[in-house]
Structure 1
Amino acid sequence: MNLKGLGKVLVTGGTGFVGSYLVKRLIEEGLDVRVMDNNLRGDLSRLDGLKDKFEFIEADICDYADTLAATRGMDTVFHLAFINGTKNFYENPDKVLGVGVKGAINTLDAAMELGVKNYAVTSSSEVYQEPTHIPTTEDERIIIPDIMNPRYSYSGGKIITELLALHYTKSSNMKVVILRPHNFYGANMGYGHVIPHFAMKMRAASNGGDVKEIDFPIQGTGEEERSFCHIDDAVDGMLIGTILGESNNIYHIGTEEILSIRDLAHLVADSMGLKINLIPTALMEGGTPKRCPSIAKIGKLGYKPKISLREGVASTVAWYASQGDTTALQQKDGILK
């Protein structure tokens, strides 16, 4: 796959988990890369060793002048900037929606004003709250089950972003592709996501692994089912969808390997040499029982995940175990104030 056709590339949210891996891949392929991020939840250290190989603009995606300046001279925009983290959905829905909607409008306006050729935006599997079939195809209905529940600030923001990308750009010749990620994971993804959260909690409960059998609280019963996609496979999918996908189309990126959260907890524990006894606790309102994508559409373009969940979880858990004291990083990855 030839990436040179992307030309000069802007990645918004480029110091975040997914963005940083995308930036690394683009640099490896010899592309001219610019990163825009305010580092509110991202961290420039994710790109250590590469700082002389890309241009970094520390700016807020909600500021149009800054966004316009960052977009100037670019051929392709990957728009990833968004506020993630389930706790933020409940406690900071105003910020989640504000960044989501303003960021989409600003990046689209800037891209159209400056004649950007390609615009790829990351949406989310969260747009599927009540999927009618599993694996779920891209033409599945999208709904907000309860508009009063702040949990849906994130999925609502992603739905609005998709609508803007597809229809706000109607008068433009810009190629627009929507990428719907399904639970990307890997080293240095932060601490607010399920795999590192489980790993860090198990590490603490087992006294660093000294205690080999522990009780482990889990939200709900753990019967909820998800699929997980390693970040290396995810970046492959993002590039395939953007380069080979058709304009005004939506592409799932993930795997069809589905498992329960209960089984995921045991998989994390196995990778740490632990035995766990799961303790059910209250489940936060607004969760989805089962979610897994069909990847047939992007598969026709050549996308094929290579990293098994067992292999990926083991390497991810090992990375977190190697990090020592992560208190400061966990605080940064927590609730926004």
Structure 2
Amino acid sequence: MKKVNILITGGAGFIGSHLAEKLVTQGHAVTIADNLSRGSLANILAIKNRIRFLNVDLRTEQGAKTATKNQDIVFNLAALNTGIDFDPGRTEKMFEENMLLQMMPLRSAAKNGVKTFIQISTASIYSLTAMTTRLPTIENDDKEDPEVSKLGYALAKKMGERLAIWYAINSSMKTVIARFINVYGTRDHFDTLGHFIPMIIRKFHESRVTVEVFGSGNQKRSFLHVADAVSALLLLSQKGGNGEIYNIDPQDEHSIKEIVSTVRRAMNKNHITIQYNTKKPEGSRRRMLDNTKINNLGWNPSHRLIESLPEIVDDIVARISHERS
């Protein structure tokens, strides 16, 4: 990739900070736009003198306009995304926030002459039926409503995809959509609104007797390492088709019980009892995406969850300890 101006919205967050590091090492002029509501300056400390940082509200026209000015490529990673227990009671907030975080950057990028816009989406846009009975789920199996466990977030992301496709057709800006399966890695949030893996690590770290897990534990998920997510985004920025949607999933599938047991062993917490709470939501029975389309572009994921978990455990535990010091 020739050296260009690149904006990463949400660039101080989990995935965005890893992407920023990679782009900086490639010599690009990187701008990070983040209001730090979920992101952290600690995530970009190592590259702070090699990037341009903007603390702006991308939900507003002025914030999005400022961020996208003079950019060649935009990676739109800004989002309000949380664990499964957060969204059901706050569907309206999740929808409104995430809709604005897609609509405003897309509109401003097109007006400012951005050449390529990478829209980040999610496997949550697929219906429960598609994710349970039609596996691995292909990109065009997206006509039904999303599963209800993360409805606000998923509906906003689905509409954001359609908006990106509209700009692909009606503007000179190339748009490409990346649908991520569950992403894991260092720097992920470990608070009460976080994703499953960092939350379960935190529970084992803090518990002395019992750890509660939502659902039966029999549900299966495929997991994507953040480094492989970054490699997919870089590939799509160069080879992705205009207005095209790509599933990003290494098809590394494990049951929740397997993951919880592996984390417990890695943390030497075998004395702790695991309590599966079937009264809590567990989402779809399985979740795995067809990756033929991205693989045909040359994507080659290289990380596997079980082998990567010790590194993630060390990262989460170290950050929890630092938070308390």
2:249 is aligned with what amino acid? G
2:161 is aligned with what amino acid? E
Distance in 2, Cα, partners of 1:203 & 1:181: 28
1:83 is aligned with what amino acid? L
Give the structure 1 partner of residue 321 of structure 2.
Answer: 325
Give the structure 2 partner of residue 54 of structure 1.
Answer: 51
Which of the residues 215, 218, 225 maps onto 1:220?
215
Give the structure 1 partner of residue 203 of structure 2.
Answer: 201
Moved more, 127-136 or 51-60: 127-136
Q: Which TM-score applies when normalising by structure 1? A: 0.88
Give the structure 2 partner of residue 246 of structure 1.
Answer: 241
Moved more, 264-273 or 110-119: 264-273
**Aligned-pair CA distance for 1:231:** 0.7
1:237 is aligned with what amino acid? A
Q: Which has the higher helix share?
A: 2
Distance in 2, Cα, partners of 1:198 & 1:95: 26
Distance in 2, Cα, partners of 1:258 & 1:160: 28
Look up the SS of the partner of 2:170 in the other structure. coil
Look up the SS of the partner of 2:32 in the other structure. strand
Distance in 1, Cα, partners of 2:38 & 2:322: 15
Give the structure 2 partner of residue 332 of structure 1.
Answer: none
Give the structure 1 partner of residue 33 of structure 2.
Answer: 36
**Aligned-pair CA distance for 1:145:** 5.6
Pairing 1:165–2:164 present: yes
Look up the SS of the partner of 2:298 in the other structure. coil
Give the structure 2 partner of residue 211 of structure 1.
Answer: none
Give the structure 2 partner of residue 334 of structure 1.
Answer: none
**Aligned-pair CA distance for 1:49:** 2.2
Give the structure 1 partner of residue 266 of structure 2.
Answer: 271
Pairing 1:296–2:298 present: no
Equivalent positions of 1:96-111 (< 5 A) are 96-111=94-109
Distance in 2, Cα, partners of 1:152 & 1:52: 39
Structure 1 residues 322 and 244, CA gap change in structure 2 (3 angstroms): same
On the 8 A contact 1:127/1:142 being kept in 2, the answer is no
Pairing 1:310–2:306 present: yes
On the 8 A contact 2:7/2:71 being kept in 1, the answer is yes
How many matched pairs?
317
Q: Which TM-score applies when normalising by structure 2? A: 0.91
Give the structure 2 partner of residue 235 of structure 1.
Answer: 230
Moved more, 265-274 or 76-85: 265-274
**Aligned-pair CA distance for 1:142:** 3.9
Distance in 1, Cα, partners of 2:259 & 2:97: 31
Distance in 2, Cα, partners of 1:324 & 1:299: 37
1:124 is aligned with what amino acid? T
Structure 1 residues 328 and 151, CA gap change in structure 2 (3 angstroms): farther
Deviation readout 1:270-301 (Å, 9 max, x if unpaired)? 22133254322134447211101121111111
On the 8 A contact 1:254/1:295 being kept in 2, the answer is yes
- Aligned sequence identity (%): 29
| Structure 2 unpaired stretches of 5+ | none
Give the structure 2 partner of residue 178 of structure 1.
Answer: 177
